[in-house]
């Protein structure tokens, strides 16, 4: 069945990309790799990622680039009862723009014991100044959306030696910049929080988080009785108060992971580098760079 599913992936990719299938460019191969990867056809994805990196090889960071990276590593905070650890952390420095992508790999997502991903992949991006020491913009990945950190997030970074703060949602790890509560998004009808958040119209992230709190503290985690969730002794619901749900006071030391494991390269191709250079396990690919940031 897996082979048939991956064959279907090839056909779907051919239909969606059309003539681009004959184009031997990093961008074309990367698009095909992502198509395969999202369908869990990992051998096909890896072959395409290999070609991406053959055509546009990543390189090691110079000493001055390592210094930039180490200055900009975000301060990461979880709630006091966060059930999953930060298992890996990686950074990809853009080769042509003053951008760095910081990738978080949490042990799992409380709502998805069944997704065949042995981690929960989240991302934050920083655009830094010409001096390599100031933060000009930041973005975080939040359940399929990209949140843009505004003046409050940038001011917080300036008060902390240009290390932006990322608050991490309990169990699900949506990444939140300082000032998150007033940012606006639209809830999707097919997401786990549907039924607890108004769908089809803009709401604040604060309102969305209130819905997530009600869902996780009453209905509980999606598929809480799944054998893998039971085996891992995952919590079936959030047991605390609203104030505890948004008490991002426990640090997760991403900087120590970066120093220890040295997972950082210069490349335009985040998913390809993670798949072929960093991790030995699968992850769900996310947005490469914020739209318009490159």
Task: Encode pLDDT of 52-77 as tens digits.
Answer: 999 999 999 999 999 999 999 999 99
288 lies in a domain?
A: no
Structure confidence at residue 17 (pLDDT): 47
CA 155-247-210 angle, to 5 degrees, is 100
Residues 200, 242: one domain? yes
Out of 32, 55, 78, a domain closes at 55
Out of 36, 55, 74, a domain closes at 55
252 lies in a domain?
A: yes
Structure confidence at residue 21 (pLDDT): 57
* Per-residue confidence band for 19, with pLDDT thresholds at 50, 70 and 90: very low
Q: Which residues of 188-197 are buried (b: 16+ CB within 10 A; e: fewer)?
A: eeebbbeebb
In the predicted structure, residue 8 carries a pLDDT above the cut 70: no
259 lies in a domain?
A: yes
In the predicted structure, residue 13 carries a pLDDT above the cut 70: no
Structure confidence at residue 83 (pLDDT): 97
In angstroms, the CA 31 to CA 52 distance is: 10
For 111-124, the pLDDT digits (tens) are 999 999 999 999 99
277 lies in a domain?
A: no
| Helix, strand or coil, per DSSP, at residue 247 | coil
Residues 22, 117: one domain? no
- pTM, two decimals, is 0.92
Among the residues of the chain, which ranges form H helices?
2-17, 26-38, 42-55, 63-72, 151-159, 205-214, 227-231, 242-245, 254-261, 270-273
Structure confidence at residue 6 (pLDDT): 56
In the predicted structure, residue 43 carries a pLDDT above the cut 70: yes
Residues 165, 192: one domain? yes
274 lies in a domain?
A: no
Structure confidence at residue 38 (pLDDT): 96
Q: At residue 137, what are phi and psi to the nearest 5 degrees?
A: -160, 155
- The number of domains in the chain is 2
In angstroms, the CA 87 to CA 48 distance is: 26
178 lies in a domain?
A: yes
Q: Considering all CA atoms of the chain, what is the largest pairwise distance in Å, rounded to the nearest integer?
A: 55
Residues 229, 257: one domain? yes
DSSP letter assigned to residue 253: -
The overall average pLDDT reported for the chain is 92
Residues 138, 96: one domain? yes
Residues 113, 45: one domain? no
Residues 24, 140: one domain? no
Greater confidence, 258 or 294?
A: 258
Structure confidence at residue 188 (pLDDT): 86
In angstroms, the CA 232 to CA 187 distance is: 29
286 lies in a domain?
A: no
Q: At residue 142, what are phi and psi to the nearest 5 degrees?
A: -135, 95
* Length of the chain in terms of residues written: 294
Residues 220, 248: one domain? yes
Which range of residues forms the domain containing residue 32? 2-55
In angstroms, the CA 172 to CA 128 distance is: 28
């Amino acid at each position: 069945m897996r082979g048939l599913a991956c064959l279907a992936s090839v056909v779907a990719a051919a239909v969606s990309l059309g003539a681009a299938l004959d184009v031997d460019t990093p961008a074309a191969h990367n698009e095909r790799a992502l198509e395969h990867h999202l369908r869990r056809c990992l051998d096909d994805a890896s072959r395409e990622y290999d070609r991406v990196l053959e055509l546009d090889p990543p390189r090691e960071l110079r000493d001055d680039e390592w210094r930039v990276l180490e200055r900009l590593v975000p301060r990461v905070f979880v709630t006091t009862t966060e059930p999953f650890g930060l298992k890996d952390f990686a950074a990809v420095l853009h080769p042509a723009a003053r951008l760095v992508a910081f990738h978080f790999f949490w042990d799992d997502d409380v709502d998805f014991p069944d997704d065949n991903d042995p981690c929960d992949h989240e991302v934050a991006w920083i655009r830094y100044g010409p001096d390599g020491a100031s933060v000009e913009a930041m973005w975080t990945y939040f359940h399929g959306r990209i949140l843009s950190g505004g003046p409050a997030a940038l001011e917080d970074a300036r008060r902390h030696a240009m290390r932006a703060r990322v608050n991490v949602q309990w169990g699900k790890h949506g990444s939140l910049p300082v000032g998150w509560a007033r940012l606006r998004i639209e809830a999707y009808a097919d997401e786990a929080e549907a039924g607890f958040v108004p769908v089809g119209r803009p709401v604040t992230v604060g309102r969305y988080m209130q819905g997530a709190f009600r869902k996780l503290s009453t209905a509980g985690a999606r598929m809480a009785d799944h054998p893998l969730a039971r085996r891992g002794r995952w919590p079936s619901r959030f047991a605390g108060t609203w104030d505890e749900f948004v008490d991002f006071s426990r640090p997760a030391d991403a900087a120590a992971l970066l120093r220890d494991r040295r997972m950082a390269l210069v490349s335009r191709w985040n998913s390809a580098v993670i798949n072929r250079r960093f991790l030995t396990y699968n992850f769900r690919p996310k947005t490469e760079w914020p739209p318009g940031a490159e």
